[in-house]
């Protein structure tokens, strides 16, 4: 090999090394860039972590630019290129930085020397906001354009920039000025002109009047500009729509405008923009009220029709699909939207409960149903006949939160539901409804096969003192099978009796405490101890008297326990303290 070729080869190698080095440097910057954006998406902007990343990126990028003048990146759907080499490949194809840029037509970004910190930060901010929202308000090209970034250049594909515009209006008319010259100059002064021409004095006056814009007008102008800064698009749009509708003097025009609003509503729902959709719905409602006040029956009816349509079966189906498909949805606005729909939508919403796939959306729909309240119990309660237990449970929950006695007939039905979860929910619902009618249903639950349910029912009954409860439970605890129940259930039942029966229960307790049996002695001991405790918790003079009696009779154990309880309770009575939770705890088994 000659010396010359060797030289060339080492030159080539050196070049190769250089370009590798450059590629590495670019890669480093790009990695930082992607990291910074990812972190921006996670942390709030004033957090120190994204700040540090951002500053770091700026430092590295300016270092690169100082040496290489620019950093030009090519873009496709999921990759970034530097000098035609892939420098970044994103894991997922349809999200991430490359895609955000690509989606808005940007195919190349170039950072140039002289880049300022503010520019880079604005750039990052724009991209982050675009990635974060599914339906960004503006495209990136517009955002960048507005931000004025002199050291960041883009090339974007725009269908219309390459579009053929050959078919354009062409100027018409002659190009020769001779005719004009002679008629204008010759006729000057010799003919009254069609349009009066201003005299010199008029022009001068005009100029003088224009010369100064007085301070008052300047201030008004400033005020106008200032006011425009707080332009509220929606408020303005509603103003226009109201005026447009009132300008529609013909019913057909009016109906056409309402139809436009209906279509708009559909489109907004399709775009999953429930915020705007709610606003439009609200507008329609307000308009309807205004028309009705003005005695415009025909128009009122038309708006009603539109509102009904918004909540019809088909549309609720679409809503269900949207709610199932997009877990990131703004549920707050969705709820607002659903609660603005008309009454006719209630059965469809009940149906929707069966189709919704996640807890958050179901609970949202339940809140909406609940807001329909007592007046619509009958419509809402259709749900208790649903074959899906979870729909029934949700509806029972709604009925419970409404808390109206009107729901009792439906709850009577569901308390016998085969699914325990429904029965549980029914019990909770019943507990929220006032009135003695509920008591007998709660009492019937004391016979439910599920102990947990019985215990809970007993607890609820404790809060509802009445003769029926006292009689029923007195009877129940006197039954032979009572002692076989679990200590928990016995305890709760006895407590409930103490709480509701007070002095009336004292004798029964005494009897239970002193009762002796030959069989199941342990069970009986347990029962008698629990009865003793219940007796103490009655905490009246006659119950204390009974305790005193017991402390000197019965078994040794009973005497001891009765003494202990007596001391405690009489000392509370002296010091005037009530039954605090701590005290209760001390007496737990």
Partner 1 sequence: MNKLAEQVTSQERKQNKENYLYLLEKGKGLVNLFYATIRTAALYEPNNDAFRKQIGPLMQAVREIIEHEGELSFSSKEGYLFLNQARLRLDFENYVASRFILEFTQKLQIYKLTLESGISQAELQDLICILAHIDPNEKEPFEVIEKKIFEQNLGHIRLEKEREHPVPEAELTSLDQRRTAKKTFYRAISVVREFSQRTQSGKGMNLVKVKRLVQSLVDQILQNEEIFLELSALKNYDEYTYLHSTNVCILSLLLGLRLGLSKRELCELGLAALFHDIGKVKLPLELLNKPSEFDESEWAKMRKHPVMGVKNLLASLKLDPFSIRAMLVSFEHHLNLNLSGYPKLKEKRDLNLFSRIVSIVDTYDAMTSGRVYLKTPFPPDEALRKMFYVREKVYDPSLLKLFINLLGVYPVGSLVLLNDGQIGLVTKNNPDNPSSPKVKLIADQEGTKEVPEILDLSQDSSSSAEPGASRSILRCIDPQKYNLDLSQFIL
Residues 231-250 contacting partner 1, CB under 8 A: 231, 233-234, 236-237, 239-244, 246-248
State the Cα–Cα distance between residues 444 and 455, nearest whole angstrom.
12
- The C-alpha atoms of residue 519 and residue 525 are separated, in whole angstroms, by 11
Only one residue has tokens 């009779």, namely: 553
Q: Which is nearer to partner 1, 11 or 188 (CB)?
A: 188
Binding segment toward partner 1, per CB under 8 A, in 183-191, 301-309, 368-376, 429-437: 183-191
Which residue bears the tokens 């659903």?
Answer: 338
- For 568, counting Cβ atoms within 10 Å of its Cβ (0-12 exposed, 13-18 middle, 19+ buried), the class is middle
Q: Is residue 320 a contact partner of residue 311, using CB atoms and an 8 Å limit?
A: no
Q: Which of 179, 481, 586, 588 binds partner 1 (CB under 8 A)?
A: 179
**Under rule CB under 8 A, which residues in 52-111 are in contact with partner 1?**
52, 55-56, 59
By CB under 8 A, the residues from 34 to 63 that bind partner 1 are 51-52, 55-56, 59
The answer to whether residue 201 forms part of the interface with partner 1 (CB under 8 A) is no
309 binds partner 1 (CB under 8 A): no
Please tell me what DSSP assigns to residue 74. Answer: E
Q: Could you write out the DSSP letters of every residue in 489-532?
A: HHHHHHHHHHHHHTHHHHHHHHHHHH---SSSHHHHHHHHHHHH
Neighbours of 297 (CB within 10 A): 10
Site string for partner 1, 118-157 (x = CB under 8 A): x------------------x-x-xx--xx-x---------
Q: Which is nearer to partner 1, 47 or 553 (CB)?
A: 47
184 binds partner 1 (CB under 8 A): yes
Nearest to 64 by CA among 16, 99, 110, 129: 110
Question: Is 264 an interacting residue with respect to partner 1 (CB under 8 A)?
Answer: yes
User: Quick check: 195 binds partner 1 (CB under 8 A)?
Assistant: yes
Q: Decide if residue 1 touches partner 1 (CB under 8 A).
A: no
* 174 contacts partner 1 (rule: CB under 8 A): yes
DSSP state, residue 165: -
Binding of partner 1 by 449 (CB under 8 A): no
Q: Residue count at the site for partner 1 (CB under 8 A)? A: 84
Alpha-carbon distance 221 to 27, whole Å?
51
For Cα atoms 196, 201, 202, give the angle at the middle one, nearest 5 degrees.
50
Task: With contacts defined by CB under 8 A, name the span among 9-17, 173-181, 302-310, 546-554 that binds partner 1.
Answer: 173-181
Can residue 176 be called a binding residue for partner 1 (CB under 8 A)? Answer: yes
Largest CA distance in the chain: 142
Answer yes or no whether residue 177 interacts with partner 1 by CB under 8 A.
Answer: yes
* Residue 227 binds partner 1, judged by CB under 8 A: yes
Rounded CA-CA distance 102/429 in Å is 54
Mask of contacts with partner 1, 383-422, x by CB under 8 A? ----------------------------------------
Residue 183 Cβ vs partner 1, minimum distance, rounded to whole Å: 7
Contact pick of 15, 42, 134, 180 for partner 1 (by CB under 8 A): 180
Question: Does residue 332 touch partner 1 according to CB under 8 A?
Answer: no
Within positions 286 to 305, which residues make up the interface with partner 1, using CB under 8 A? none
Distance CA 494, CA 473 (A): 8
Q: What's the length of the chain? A: 589
Q: How many CB atoms lie within 10 A of CB 43?
A: 14
Residue 89, SS3 per DSSP: strand
Comparison of 135 and 589: residue with beta carbon closer to partner 1: 135
Only one of the segments 258-266, 388-396, 422-430, 452-460 lies at the binding site for partner 1 (rule: CB under 8 A); that segment is 258-266
For residue 540, state whether it binds partner 1 (rule: CB under 8 A).
no
Residue 79 vs 153, nearer CB to partner 1: 153
In 3D space, the residue among 256, 314, 265, 313 whose CA is nearest the CA of residue 285 turns out to be: 265
- Choose between 12 and 247: whose C-beta lies nearer to partner 1: 247
Q: How many CA atoms lie within 13 A of 537 on its CB side?
A: 28
Stretch that binds partner 1, among 222-230, 300-308, 414-422, 562-570 (CB under 8 A): 222-230
């Amino acid at each position: 090999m000659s010396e010359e070729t060797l030289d060339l080869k080492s030159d080539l190698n050196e070049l190769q090394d250089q370009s590798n080095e450059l590629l590495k440097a670019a890669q480093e910057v790009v990695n930082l860039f992607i990291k910074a954006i990812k972190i921006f998406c996670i942390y709030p902007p004033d957090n120190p972590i994204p700040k540090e990343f951002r500053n770091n990126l700026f430092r590295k990028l300016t270092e690169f630019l100082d040496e290489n003048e620019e950093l030009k990146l090519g873009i496709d759907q999921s990759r970034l290129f530097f000098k035609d080499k892939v420098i970044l490949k994103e894991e997922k194809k349809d999200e991430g930085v490359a895609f955000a840029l690509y989606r808005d037509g940007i195919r190349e970004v170039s950072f140039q020397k002289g880049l300022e910190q503010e520019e880079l930060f604005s750039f990052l901010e724009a991209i982050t906001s675009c990635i974060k929202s599914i339906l960004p308000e503006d495209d990136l090209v517009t955002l960048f354009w507005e931000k004025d970034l002199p050291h960041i250049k883009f090339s974007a594909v725009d269908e219309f920039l390459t579009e053929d515009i050959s078919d354009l209006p062409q100027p018409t008319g002659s190009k020769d000025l001779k005719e004009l010259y002679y008629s204008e100059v010759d006729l000057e002064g010799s003919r009254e002109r069609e349009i009066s021409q201003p005299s010199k004095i008029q022009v001068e006056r005009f100029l003088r009047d224009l010369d100064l814009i007085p301070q008052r007008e300047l201030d008004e102008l400033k005020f106008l500009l200032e006011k425009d800064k707080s332009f509220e698009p929606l408020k303005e749009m509603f103003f226009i729509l109201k005026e447009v509708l009132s300008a529609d003097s013909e019913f057909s025009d009016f109906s056409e405008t309402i139809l436009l609003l209906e279509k708009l509503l559909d489109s907004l729902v399709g775009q999953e923009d429930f915020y705007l959709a709610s606003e439009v719905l609200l507008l329609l409602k307000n308009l309807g009220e205004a028309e009705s006040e003005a005695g415009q029956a025909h128009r009122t009816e038309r708006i009603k029709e539109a509102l009904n349509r918004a909540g019809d079966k088909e549309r609720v189906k679409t809503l269900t699909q949207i709610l199932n498909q997009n877990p990131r949805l703004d549920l707050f606005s969705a709820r607002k939207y659903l609660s603005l729909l008309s009454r006719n939508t209630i059965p469809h919403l009940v149906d929707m409960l069966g189709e919704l796939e996640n807890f958050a959306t179901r609970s949202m729909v339940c809140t909406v149903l609940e807001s329909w309240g007592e007046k619509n119990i009958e419509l809402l309660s259709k749900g208790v006949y649903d074959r899906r237990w979870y729909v029934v449970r949700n509806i029972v929950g709604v009925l419970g939160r409404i808390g109206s006695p009107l729901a009792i007939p439906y709850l009577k039905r569901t308390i016998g539901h085969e699914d325990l979860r429904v029965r549980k929910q029914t019990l909770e619902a019943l507990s929220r409804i006032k009135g003695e009618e509920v008591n007998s249903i709660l009492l019937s639950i004391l016979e439910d096969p599920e102990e947990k349910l019985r215990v809970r029912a007993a607890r609820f009954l404790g809060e509802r003192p009445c003769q029926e409860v006292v009689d029923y439970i007195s009877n129940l605890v006197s039954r032979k099978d009572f002692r076989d129940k679990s200590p928990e259930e016995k305890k709760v039942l006895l407590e409930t009796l103490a709480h509701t029966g007070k002095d009336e229960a004292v004798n029964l307790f005494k009897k239970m405490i002193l009762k002796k049996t030959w069989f199941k002695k342990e069970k009986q001991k347990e029962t008698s101890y629990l009865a003793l405790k219940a007796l103490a918790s009655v905490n009246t003079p006659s119950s204390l008297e009974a305790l005193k009696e017991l402390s000197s009779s019965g078994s040794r154990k009973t005497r001891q326990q009765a003494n202990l309880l007596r001391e405690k309770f009489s000392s509370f009575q002296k010091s005037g303290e009530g039954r605090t939770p701590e005290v209760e705890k001390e007496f737990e088994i």
